[in-house]
Amino acid sequence: MKILLILPPMTQVNTPYPSLPYLSHFLRNEGHEVTQLDLGLELFLEIFSVKGLNTLRHSLDLKSIKSEFEVFFLENFTTYQSTIEPVITLLQGKNLTLAHRIARRQMLPEGPRFLPLDEYSFLENNFGQLGIQDKAKYIATLYIDDLNDLIRDNLDSRFQLSRYGESLASSQSSFQSLLDNLSIKTPITNFIENLFLENLQKFSPDLILFSLPFPGNVFASLLCANSLKSKNIKVPIAVGGGYVNTELRELSDPRFFQFFDYLMFDDGELPLRKLIAYLNHQCDDTELIRTSFIKNDCIVPLKQSTTPNDIPFKKNFGPSYQGLDLSRYISMMEVPNPMHRMWSDLHWNKLILAHGCYWKKCTFCDVTLDYIGRYEPMEVQSIISIMKRLIDETGQTGFHFVDEAAPPQLIQKLCEAIIKENLPITWWGNFRFDERFKHLADLMADAGCVAVTGGLEVGSPRVLSMIDKGITIEQVANVTKALSQAGIFVHAYLMYGFPTQTIQETIDSLEVVRQLFTNECIHSGYWHRFMCTAHSPVGKNPQKFHITLRPDPIPSHGLFAKNTVDFIENDHLKNPEAKNRELDFLGRGLNKALYNYIHGVGLDDDVRVWFDETVPKAKIKPTVIKHYLKNS
Ligand code: B12
Ligand code: SF4
């Protein structure tokens, strides 16, 4: 069968998201002819080209009232036009001598994104006199960011560089906003539809698969499906991916199936094998697995088509990038923070070491879903041979292990094997700050680990135990210290607003974080406001966490997405607004503090200085982390 496997716009454009390489490798091994198409990259290259900018300019010309930056863009259009393609080749790593000119800041037009640069000698402080390539990459990214803002503010408010129309799909109980947005035509929607139809003509597939990892991919897939429908082209379309697995499990709005034929859940391999057999008339629709579709004018829901036996993860072939031209991907540097670089810069071969999470207990996490709850590690020898194949195939030795939480035992064996095989790889991934990593840090660094991200979540023992993370602050301090002493960059995920967490506990958390920075345990971090998701232990058992859920009512057409659920703490039922306001001002202060800590600023200040309202003094002793480290 001829299959067109599409990642709709937008995801990050530095490296392909792995669902396409994983599924295409599997389907090719099943004997099918598969084309993998990263439509997000295609869209990016289309917009940021001479032709693309001409189209944008034409649309802006038609507007009667123009913003200050639009006027600037139109006045400097010739320079934008002559510089766009050289900038793209620089960001593709193909035209590196150009960096010298860009770094001098005399070549590119500078819009609003450049304004903060002259404060505190920003460029010199971050890149010095010698970091020409990085400086140029940063400046070129600002130039692209300016153009992104121009599009978002004046032509299509749904557009961002790594997500498109995200809010239309994220936890939206109703399908209506997505439908309504189909009629809002912009240069971006035209680009997407044209690129899709051109590729359809080129490959004339028997089956189209859309992979939807994030909410920011959904609207573009709908645009593509709609363009097919309006041209009355009939090719079966199936959708699946992380967004579907998380948010669409209870979908009951039949209008969705006017665009897509099959909605498929969890790992795609087995359901696709069955779907293809069905489309080839080798079985009937009762044998479809984890697939929702329309039968006799009714939706066959997920529940009626599940199976307990998946293809064992040990037998997974790993990804294959064949057919994706990696030299066209774009490396950007949005902020000069080493962790952000991992996300948006350079090519990383993506690999899953273990299906699901070995801990699967954290109460805020979607542990009831298959992609977290079904834990199944790969064999070390299979991982090594997949790595070798990927290095041959891509010529790249960087790996991103995309596990939810890489398991310590497997990491130990893998590191030993990498060293034994003398594989010169560079890798990073997400971890739980499990005590065992303290003793593995040097081994990991020797095996090529350069960065880890991991959840500390909160710095309050009471809340940490409610989260059931299975770690203590003392363990986190010791593990992160060992990792950073081994030369590994450590980024911590942090959380505030967990049910019953008090202002005092939030301030204490910040004090722990401050001390982790001052003791050089962590280098970077990010605060997330707690959100209750339907598939987490908190969402499943709200009373245990002293909250009351306030789910959206089911819309008259039926339910579309369900993920985060609005809630109120039982103690705040009478005045939910006050709690919201409290979390807003706490969030502002926490983020301000963290931003400064990452840049080494304010580390000796009392943590109360970051808040614009009065907060209590931290109850944690200022030497607690030092004490933990000394005792280890
Ligand atoms: C690593 C990771 C990241 C990394 C790297 C992302 C990247 N661009 O490469 C970082 C940290 C940057 C990240 C960021 C975000 N992430 Co993230 N991320 C993950 C994680 C842990 C692994 C993703 C992965 O590589 N999986 C490996 C691939 C092979 O698996 P897969 O995509 O699921 O594909 C399989 C199946 O889904 C299925 N399938 C896939 N496509 C299709 C298509 C068809 C037709 C079929 C039948 C089957 C099918 O088959 C595949 C093979 O079995 C997942 C959770 C998870 N375990 O999947 C979350 C996850 C995908 N992320 C999520 C989110 C929300 C985000 C953010 C939007 C967070 C934010 N608010 O900023 C951003 C968006 C980034 C962007 N726009 O690019 C959610 C998405 C769920 C949702 N609500 O829609 C997930 C599921 C986690 C969660 N529960 O919150 N993420
Ligand atoms: S938060 Fe991380 S460690 Fe905890 S259960 Fe989820 S994936 Fe596992």
- Ligand with minimal distance to 247 CA: 1
Q: What is the crossing angle of helices 68-75 and 77-91, to 10°?
A: 90
Nearest CA to 521 out of 532, 529, 512, 530 is that of: 512
Give the ranges where 62-106 is alpha helix by DSSP (H).
68-75, 77-91, 98-103
State the maximum Cα–Cα separation within the chain, in Å, rounded to a whole number: 71
Which residue owns the Cα nearest ligand 1 atom 26? 402
CA distance 628 to 632: 6
Give residue 454 CA to ligand 2 midpoint distance, Å: 9
CA distance 408 to 411: 5
Cβ neighbours around 517 below 10 Å, total: 23
- The answer to whether 37 touches 6, Cβ cutoff 8 Å, is yes
The torsion angle over the Cα atoms of residues 312, 315, 318 and 320, rounded to 10 degrees, is -120
Q: What's the N-to-C CA distance of the chain in angstroms?
A: 59
Give the ranges where 162-235 is alpha helix by DSSP (H).
166-169, 176-181, 187-203, 218-230
Interacting residues of 128 by C-beta distance below 8 A, sequence separation 6+: none
Using a 10 angstrom Cβ sphere, with 0-12 exposed, 13-18 middle and 19 or more buried, the burial of residue 209 is buried
Q: What's the chain's length in residues?
A: 632
Give residue 164 CA to ligand 2 midpoint distance, Å: 27
Atom of ligand 1 nearest to the CA of 239: 45
Which residue owns the Cα nearest ligand 2 atom 6? 365
- Ligand with minimal distance to 406 CA: 2
Q: Which residues line ligand 2 (CB under 6 A)?
A: 357, 359-362, 365, 367, 372, 404-405, 432, 455
Interacting residues of 588 by C-beta distance below 8 A, sequence separation 6+: 611, 612
Q: Which residues line ligand 1 (CB under 6 A)?
A: 11-12, 17-19, 22-23, 162-163, 209, 211, 213-216, 238-243, 245-247, 264, 267-269, 271-272, 343, 350, 352, 366, 371, 402, 404, 563
CA distance 330 to 11: 12
Give residue 70 CA to ligand 1 midpoint distance, Å: 35
Task: Give the chain's residues under pLDDT 50.
Answer: none
Give residue 402 CA to ligand 1 midpoint distance, Å: 9
Give residue 18 CA to ligand 1 midpoint distance, Å: 9
Provide the pLDDT for residue 116.
86
Q: DSSP assignment of 575-609, as one string?
A: -HHHHHHHHHHHHHHHHHHHHHHHTT-STTS-GGG
Using a 10 angstrom Cβ sphere, with 0-12 exposed, 13-18 middle and 19 or more buried, the burial of residue 125 is exposed
Which residue owns the Cα nearest ligand 1 atom 46? 240
pLDDT in tens, 522-572: 999 999 999 999 999 999 999 999 999 999 999 999 999 999 999 999 999
pLDDT in tens, 221-251: 999 999 999 999 999 999 999 999 999 999 9
- Ligand with minimal distance to 358 CA: 2
**What is this structure's pTM?**
0.97
- Give the C-alpha distances (Å, rounded to integers) separating 291 from 55, 264, 274, 371: 40, 5, 10, 16
Q: Best substitution site from 207, 214, 390, 430 to test ligand 1's pocket, by max atoms within 8 Å of Cβ?
A: 214
- Output DSSP code: residue 564: B
- Ligand with minimal distance to 407 CA: 2
Cβ neighbours around 507 below 10 Å, total: 24
Cβ neighbours around 544 below 10 Å, total: 12
- Ligand with minimal distance to 431 CA: 2
Nearest CA to 434 out of 452, 450, 419 is that of: 452
Atom of ligand 1 nearest to the CA of 19: 29
CA distance 236 to 116: 50
What element of type H or E holds 64? none
- The answer to whether 473 touches 508, Cβ cutoff 8 Å, is no
Coil, strand or helix: which one is 489?
A: strand
CA distance 257 to 180: 16
Q: Hey, what are 294's tokens?
A: 């329309």
In which residue are the tokens 């009629």 written? 183
